[in-house]
Structure 1
Amino acid sequence: MSASLLGGKSRALPLSHGAKDAFVRVRKRDLEKLTTEVMQLREFLPRVLNGDLIKMLHKAQAAQTMKEHLVQEQEQLQQQCLHLQARLDAVQTECQKEREEKLLLREQLWQSGTQLQQQADFCSGLGSATCSLLWSSSAREHTVSQWLADGKLQSFLSVAAQTLESFVRSLDEDVKTQTEDHTSQEHQFVLALAGTITNIAAVTCGRDFLSSSAHVLLDTLMKLLELMKPGVFPKLKVLMLMALYNVSISVKGLKYISENPGLLPLIWTLLDDGDWEVCLHTLRLLQSVLLEEDVLLLLGSSLLDPDLQARVSRLTTTVQPSLRLAAQQTLEDLQSFQQQYIL
């Protein structure tokens, strides 16, 4: 009687110890049931594993890929960071080196500036003392004659003209008007130069030399007088005007000065300078012009300008006796010339 009929379960036969393949005895109905269950699992498993789960799996895979990519990028960034840190350290070291060099250069510059100022002060003192001696010596006619004989006067006058121009152009009129220090070595140096030129022009041989061979100097003096504003360094203006007046004593010198188109405008400006000595020596230069007939013919109607007479006329009421007298004499000369010119 079989096991199924007896209601019992089938039993698997024991495996033989020597068999190469293992076999199991299963009832046909159980095998079919198992097959059906497997087919059902294959059919319904995708439905169980829904789309969200699949998406999550895909995202997990993408996240893993991204993680690997980020790890690589992080490693690259770390390498770049190390490289940049090395460069930063090098640049900071270089910066510190440059900062130290700049501090050293600044210290050297300060020392050089101090030394330069000391040298400038020394040169100003030496120039002031030397030119003061020249100024004093030039008061002697024999000295000027000797300078001319030595042939060194031309180079001295050239240097003097350049020095005067450099000084005048460096003036800050707005400040100097209030704070001039005529006792400073620089001012004394410049005054001594101008005074020496004035003394040279006061000597006949020196005046003739200036009239014929120092036209650049004469042009420079007139240009500087034009550049200097009213009230600025009147002592220097007076010396330059005296030099021009001394040159004008020579007919040749007066003719050259008068040919300068800026002469009369300069005279008009200086008559309103405000310093009485500047006005006085300006009038004397104008008087020298009015005394020479050839110059009067050259200037002609320019001397008849009512503004010129008005400026001279205002000075006739000044409280300074010498200035008032010079203004009266000049006004008479202008009126006399006007009458002659009209006739």
Structure 2
Amino acid sequence: MADSADGLNEPSDGPNEPCDGPSEPADGLNEPTDEPSEPADGMNEPSDEPNESTDGRSEPVDGPNEPTNGPNEPNDGLNQPSDGPNEPVDGLNEPSDGLSEPTDGPNKSISWKVTYLCLLQKDRLEEVTRNYHSLLGEWHKLQEELQADQVPKDYVLVHKNDLAQLATETSQLKLNLPMVINSSLSTATTRVDSLQEEIDRLRQRNAVSEADIGQWKTRLEAAVAECQKEKESNLQLRCEMQELTEQLSQQSDYSCSLGSSCCTLLWRVSRSQDTVQTLLSGTKIDDFLNLVTSTVESYLSAYKDDWPQDQSDESGFILALVGIITNVAASAYGRDFLISRDSGRNLVDTFTNFLADAPLKKSARLKNLLLMALYNLSINQRALKYICSKPGIMGLLVWHLQEETDCDNRLNTLRVVHSLVSDEHNNVILHELAEALPEHFLQQLTADKNQDVQDLALDLIMDLRQTQHEQ
């Protein structure tokens, strides 16, 4: 057991010196007790690996930590024991009988404590050895870098004068930087204050604008709702107007058909002079004449640009009305009645205006009836003077005679002209006719296919020549 203890106190290169014997415990250890304490498994069963000397610990390289020769100087390395009392190293790997099989007495506690201290010294020795090899590796690495570049890559060589100049410039910058920063800072502060004020103004404007936008949105919504209501109302009114238009159109068609039928019957009845006297003796004759005047004017203004066909109910209604007036003017009583009433004279004015405004080469039947009515009225002396007093009447008739191509229109126009110039005391009409109607045109009419036109043209030529001979 004493031999085993000597093996655990193997001297090392570190500061711990071996103790004189296993019987002297180290300071600070507690006195042994009667009851032995069981050592830990790691202490009772050490493995063989900690005592195997590695290449790093057995082959130290040259350096500042090279051990010197002493009483325990190893020959080849740190872990090679020398000849003497330190030879048995296997005591660490092979536990003695005292550790595994404790005996009664104080030697049991002392042996366990000595073993524990030896293990601590061994751990410290291994840690020192590792640190030594780590430092040694760093030293070799630094030597290699110095041999390769002489200066590490992370460092720069600067001349002393350049460093002094750099220090001077740095101090100058330290002095000038506060002045520059203070001036720039004051300018920036002033600008920031102005910008902040501008931002505040803009925020106020934005708030006012948002309030206005809210009001306008409210107004817009109200206007849109009102507009929608107006649209619905307009749509409803359009529908009602369309219905009323259809009803009015139907009523107009019905009225035109009824008027055409009644007036056509009245037109046929008015061919008899006795019937004419009966009609004119009624109380509604002035209303009837005013109705004829307004109807002819409305018909002309409505269909001046788009003249309807003669087969329509409206055309039949207008033809029947004018035909009734023509038949009334064919009787002596009717001519005198028409020219003696204001409604009758207004009707004569409407007929002459119709001849001037109606489109040419259209409504030949209606124009024939109007010319026949004027011719019948011209037989009456009062009516003749009234027609001749109309300004431009002769020029209108001559223009109508020259422009119209319908044979009946030309014949009836010549009849009216011949009737107007038949008054021997009215020389003004003859002069107007001589100025408006060229003689060569009358010569052309003498060769017309219609015999009545030829006769009337010859009579006019003779009247004109007689007027010139008298002058």
Q: Same fold (TM over 0.5)?
A: yes
**Greater relative CO (CA pairs within 8 A, separation 6+):** 1
Structure 1 or 2, whichever has the larger Rg, is: 2
Distance 1:168 1:86, change over 3 A: closer
User: What is the rounded CA distance, in whole Å, between the counterparts of 2:431 and 2:326 in structure 1?
Assistant: 30
SS in 2 for 1:181: coil
The number of residue pairs the alignment matches comes to: 293
Q: How does 1:125-204 map to 2 (within 5 A)?
A: 125-173=257-305, 175-176=306-307, 180-204=308-332
Q: How far is the alpha carbon of 1:307 from its aligned partner?
A: 2.8
What residue is the counterpart of 1:322 in the other structure? 452
- TM-score normalized with structure 1 length: 0.74
Report the RMSD for the aligned CA atoms in angstroms.
3.0
1:181 offset after TM fit, Å?
0.5
Give CA deviations for 1:31-80 in whole Å, capped at 9, x if unaligned: xxxxxxxxxxxxx9x86973334444555566666666665555555444
Kindly provide the CA deviation profile for residues 182-235 of structure 1, in whole angstroms up to 9, marking residues without a partner as x: 011111111111100000011121122123332222222222222224313121
Shifted more, 91-100 versus 58-67: the winner is 58-67
Residues 237-284 of structure 1: per-residue CA shift (max 9 Å, x gap): 111111111112223322322232322112211211221111100111
Preserved CA contact (<8 Å) 2:395 2:432: no
Unaligned runs of at least 5 residues, structure 2: 1-175
Q: Structure 1's 72 and 249: CA in aligned 2 closer, same or farther, altered over 3 A? A: closer
Superposed displacement of residue 298, structure 1: 5.1
Q: Equivalent residue of 2:362, what SS? A: coil
Aligned to 2:418: 287
1:103 paired to 2:235? yes
1:194–1:240 contact (8 Å) kept in structure 2: yes
SS of the residue aligned with 1:317? coil
Percent identity between the aligned chains? 33
Contact 2:395/2:433 (<8 A) preserved:
no
Match of 1:84 among 191, 216, 220: 216
Counterpart code for 1:146? T
Q: Structure 1: how far apart are the matches of 2:198 and 2:433?
A: 100
Structure-2 residue corresponding to 1:255: 385
Unaligned 5+ runs, structure 1 = 1-43
Distance 1:95 1:298, change over 3 A: closer
2:353 maps to amino acid = K
C-alpha distance in 2 between matches for 1:69 and 1:286: 91
- Between Structure 1 and Structure 2, the one with more helix by share is 1
Q: Is the 8 A contact 1:127 1:189 kept in 2?
A: yes
**Which amino acid in 1 is paired with 2:316?**
Q
Alignment correspondent of 1:15: none
Cα pair 2:336 2:380 within 8 Å, conserved: yes
Find out whether 1:277 has 2:405 as its counterpart: no
Please tell me the residue identity of whatever aligns with 2:338: L
Q: Greater shift after overlay, 85-94 or 305-314?
A: 305-314
| Pairing 1:220–2:350 present | yes
TM-score computed with the length of structure 2 as normaliser: 0.55
Q: 1:63 to 1:320 in 2, by over 3 A?
A: same
Tell whether the 8 Å contact from 1:287 to 1:333 is kept in structure 2 after alignment. Answer: no
Is the CA contact 1:268–1:311 (under 8 Å) kept in the aligned structure 2? Answer: no
Deviation of residue 83 (structure 1)? 3.5
CA–CA distance in structure 1, aligned partners of residues 229 and 352 of structure 2: 55
Partner of 2:396: 266
